[in-house]
Structure formats: C-alpha cells, structure tokens
Structure 1
Amino acid sequence: MKFHKLALFIACLTLTLSACRKEKNEPVFNNQDLAPLSIEFDNIVGGQNLYLNTGNYVNAKGEAFNVTLLQYFISNIKVKKADGTEYVVPQDSSYFLIREGSEEEGSARVNVPEGDYTSLTFTIGVDSLRSTMDVSRRTGVLDPSGGMEDGMYWGWNSGYIFFKMEGISGAAPVDPSGQQKYRFHIGGFGGYSAPTVNNIRTVTMDLSQAGVAQVRKGRKSNIHLMVDIAKVMNGPTQVSIAENPTVMFSEFSLLISANYMQMFRHDHTEN
C-alpha cells in the first residue's frame, strides 16, 4: 500500500515539474505560424546616394575618396514587441551578406510570428560560435570556399571578414598595383589567437518613431534602414586614409568597428 502511494506521489510530482518546464519554455513555431519580414539596407554617404566607382566623397579629415567595394555580414536577427515579447530568428536562417550594387543582396529576409514589432536587433559580423562550427554547418553565404571567392573569408587566418570597404583616394599611398587604394577589412571575434581583437558589434533599432513593423500573413512588411558609410571614417574616431590606408586584423580595427556601429538609421517601415 505504501509502495502504491509513493509511486502515485512520484508520478504527480513528475507531471507537475513537466508542466512547469512547459510553462517556462518559449513557444515553438512552425513555418505555418510565421509571416515574412524584410530588412532593407540602403547604403548612403552623408546625405548622398552611394555610387560605386563613380561617386566622389570627402571625409571629416578633408580627404577625397570613392568606394569601389562595400560588403558586410548581418546576422542573429531578433525582433521585439512593445510588451517585451521577443522572437529570435533561428540561427540557420539568420546570416546575410549585404553587397552594395546587388539588388538581390541588399536585404535580409526572414520569417517571424505575426505581430507589431517596435524594436529590431542584429549583429554586424559572424559570431564566434558559428565561426568555429564544422564547415558542414557553414553553408550559403558562410561557405568558406565561397567566402574566399567574394573576399569575405581570410584563408590565412581562418576567419570571416565582417565588414569590407575599399576605394581610391589621393590621400592613400601608391600600392604595388600602381593605385592609390585604401582597404578596410574588419573581422575578428576575440579568439585565442588575438583575444583583444573582437569586432563583433550588435545594433538595436527603435522602430516606434518611424513606423513599427506590422507583420501579417499574406503581406510583406519591410523595415527600411539608411546605412551611412561616412560614419566609417567620421564616427567617434575620425579616421585618416593617409595615416591608415589599410586596416585589417589589428587593434585599430576596433575603432573602425565602433564607428560603423553608428551607420544604421531607421528611415521608415512599409507595411
């Protein structure tokens, strides 16, 4: 009799604990529960449109420059409602390479639960966990072989370039190719080889002022961000091309990544 009572008590306790765990777990969504959301990255320079190769611009140091290449990774996207409810896009669906000059690769397209979202958060770069995963888990834009082709993976350093901007400037010294070229190739997640170089940057955008994202099935909501690349050189640190024509895996790169965190501004939302 005592054995049966003990067994009944254990069974009830197990069910209670199981129920508690279920209450604390995040809701599980399948594709049928989700609706489309896109985030558009519209690259500009100050108040001007960015034109590759043909546009001419001037930084805060008075140095003229153009832009011949601009690419950066956006990852780990999450959205939040006014009541604090947050949805994190599954990591396998949350890595995008934004390329200036490519309409197809100027946006990040994800699926999230229906709702009105007042906040958007994303990472500029590729997090350490994904960077060190087996290569079979790094596909699409994260495929290292493809990354070497488009110049977003350091084969010599086995790491991703988070942000890449190149161009011509009269302030830059003449390089072996005979061009006056500057190169900003920013990466590094603070690994063992260089623990002080951690250029992972996370940006949170308040959407409440310029239009919340009203995500619904059967229609597309688009968060339109203006990305001012002038901030790369004109941010908290004013960067001189003459003094720093090539910035890659160095501590100075921390200043540039702190600058480009300031690039993003929510312009409007199309619902």
Structure 2
Amino acid sequence: MKSLYKLSTLLFLFVSVTSCSDDDSPGDNLTGEGRVIIEFDNSVAGDDLILGSSYTNSQAETLTINRLNYIVSNFRLTDTQGNVFTYPKEYGYFITSEETGNTEVVLMNIPAGRYTAMTFGIGVDQEKYLLGAEGQGDLLTEAESTDMMWSWQAGYKFLNFEGTFTSSTVPENTYFQIHMGSHGSSLDNYKETTLSLGTEALVSDEMTPIIHLVVNAGNILDGDNKISLAEQAVIMVSEEKSPKIAENTANMFSVDHVHNGDGSSH
C-alpha cells in the first residue's frame, strides 16, 4: 500500500508540473528579436475617416476631407523596467497615407521584451534634414511621390490635410490646404508624442504585437487650439498658426488596444 501511495503521489506531481508547464503564458519566456506592427486608424468625430465624407467641427464649419497624409518617425519603446529601445534612425521615417491605404508601420528587429510605452515624432527632425539630400535614403523619393515635400530647399510636409469646407460666412465649397512642416530653426514644428500602451506589448522571436492607434483628424483644426478655416483656408507657413497646428497634430494619437500574437495575419 505504501508503494502504491508513493506511486500515486509521484504521478500527481508529474501531472501537476506538466499542467503548469502547458499553462505557461506565451509571454513568460521572451527571447530573441521580433517585429512590432503599428496600425494608424484614421478617424474623425468618433467615426472611421472616409475620404470624401463630411463632418462639422465645433466652429460650425462643415469639412469634406480629401487627403490625410503625415510623417511619423524616431520610434522609441519603453519596457516594464524603464529601458528604452531606440529604433535605428536610418530606417525610422514612415509616410502614412489615407489615400493609398498605407497606414501601417512595421518596426523590425526589436529586442524581446514587455513594452509599456511608445514615443514617436510627427514630421522630420532637423538632424535628419541637415544630412542633406544624399542622407535621406528612400524617404526623399517617397515624400516627393506622395506630395509630402514642397522642395528640397523648403523641406518636408509633416502633414498634408486637404479638402473643401462651407460655413455660415462661406456658403460655397471652398478649398482648404493645411500643410505643416518646419521652416528653418525659427519655425521648427517637429513634435513628439508619448503614449502609454495600457497593455504590455510582448515581443520575441515568436510574438508580434499589433498596436492599434486611433488618429483623430478632427483634432488638427479642433484640438486645444481652434483654427478657423473661414478666417484662413490655406495655412502653410504661418508663424502664428503653424505651431498651433503642430501641437494639435501631436495630440491626435491615442492607443485603442494592443493585440499580442504571432503576427501571422500580416
């Protein structure tokens, strides 16, 4: 009987250990490197942004949006221990475009870890621009093909937001253009934003998190700084309004959710 009891005890311990091992979370052992996928879900007034659709802002201006392109750059990821991984600068500039449907950024070769926050820039920083045309890599060509550059001398457009609008004082559809960028050191509109992910983004050679961001395009003109199109419908280089639009744009991003998986659907 004692032998049977000992055997039963050993079997119970074996099953228990095996069960615990099988129940381990895939995030328990994060090793190697992996990808981070960031999806920019453009929206307006709480709904998905559909080019050609209209909405009314807080200033009773009705906008029909035909274009929303912006540059995101200089990604940094912070883990649970406070360590910061900086994505390599030479690969760290991306143009997202609602026109082309290119609204996803994929960061490669991210060290395994549990990441809780993400920082990135909106636009192109002076350090990158001062590398000259030969130091821009594919970014320069892509910016030219997506209308995200005035000229090399004038620089990049960080934001290209266009469409038509009407208001009580502008009864007929009037074209609007909001192009935000930097114009020398006196008008540097490059901004950064830091977002708490809410849920840990798990990265390893087997785990690929997808970070879903909601981007509120209505914030461009209707954020903390209220910009009236009826007052000025074309804003490109404005010492007064361009910095306000840059601040609004930096605050239009929020984290909707993080999906941790193997990234097989991408």
Give the shorter-chain TM-score range.
0.7 to 0.9
Shift of 1:149: 3.4
Q: Evaluate the alpha carbon distance shift between residue 127 and residue 267 of structure 1 in structure 2; reply closer, same or farther with a 3 A threshold.
A: same
Structure holding more strand per residue: 2
Q: Distance in 2 between matches of 1:97 and 1:180?
A: 27
Q: Evaluate the alpha carbon distance shift between residue 156 and residue 215 of structure 1 in structure 2; reply closer, same or farther with a 3 A threshold.
A: closer
1:154 has 2:150 as partner: yes
Match of 2:229 in 1: 241
Deviations 1:72-115 (A, max 9, x none): 00000010012111100000111100101433x21111121011
- Pick from 243, 254, 263 the counterpart of residue 265 of structure 1: 254
Give the alignment's TM-score, normalised by structure 2. 0.80
- Pick from 209, 212, 217 the counterpart of residue 221 of structure 1: 209
Q: Evaluate the alpha carbon distance shift between residue 107 and residue 146 of structure 1 in structure 2; reply closer, same or farther with a 3 A threshold.
A: closer
Shift of 1:164: 0.9
Match of 1:41 in 2: 40
Shift of 1:129: 1.1
Aligned partner of residue 207 in structure 2, secondary structure: coil
Q: Distance in 2 between matches of 1:134 and 1:239?
A: 33
1:253 has 2:250 as partner: no
Q: Give the ranges of 4+ consecutive aligned residues of structure 1 lying more than 3 Å apart after TM superposition.
A: 171-174
Q: Distance in 2 between matches of 1:115 and 1:138?
A: 30
Contact kept, 8 Å, 1:173 with 1:245, in 2: the verdict is no
1:108 has 2:96 as partner: no
Aligned partner of residue 85 in structure 2, secondary structure: strand
Shift of 1:156: 7.2
- Pick from 205, 213, 218 the counterpart of residue 195 of structure 2: 205
Q: Distance in 2 between matches of 1:257 and 1:134?
A: 23
Q: Evaluate the alpha carbon distance shift between residue 236 and residue 77 of structure 1 in structure 2; reply closer, same or farther with a 3 A threshold.
A: same
Contact kept, 8 Å, 1:82 with 1:118, in 2: the verdict is yes
Q: Distance in 2 between matches of 1:179 and 1:153?
A: 26
Aligned partner of residue 256 in structure 1, secondary structure: helix
Contact kept, 8 Å, 1:189 with 1:200, in 2: the verdict is no
Calculate percent identity across the aligned residue pairs: 30
- Pick from 51, 55, 58 the counterpart of residue 57 of structure 1: 55
Shift of 1:203: 0.3
Amino acid at match of 1:198: D
Match of 1:5 in 2: none
Q: Structure 1 stretch 67-76 or stretch 256-265: which is displaced more?
A: 256-265
Amino acid at match of 1:161: K
Aligned partner of residue 59 in structure 2, secondary structure: coil
Any unmatched runs of 5+ in structure 2?
Answer: 1-30, 261-266
Deviations 1:31-79 (A, max 9, x none): x9421101110000021110001x1101110100111000000000010
Alignment of 1:138-153 (within 5 A): 138-140=136-138, 142-143=139-140, 145-153=141-149
Match of 2:24 in 1: none
Shift of 1:169: 0.7
Any unmatched runs of 5+ in structure 1?
Answer: 1-31
Match of 2:178 in 1: 184
Aligned partner of residue 251 in structure 2, secondary structure: helix
Match of 1:164 in 2: 160
Aligned partner of residue 239 in structure 1, secondary structure: coil
- Pick from 116, 129, 132 the counterpart of residue 130 of structure 2: 132
Contact kept, 8 Å, 1:190 with 1:199, in 2: the verdict is no
Q: How many residues align?
A: 227
Which is higher, the Rg of structure 1 or of structure 2?
A: 2
Amino acid at match of 2:104: S
- Pick from 55, 80, 84 the counterpart of residue 82 of structure 1: 80
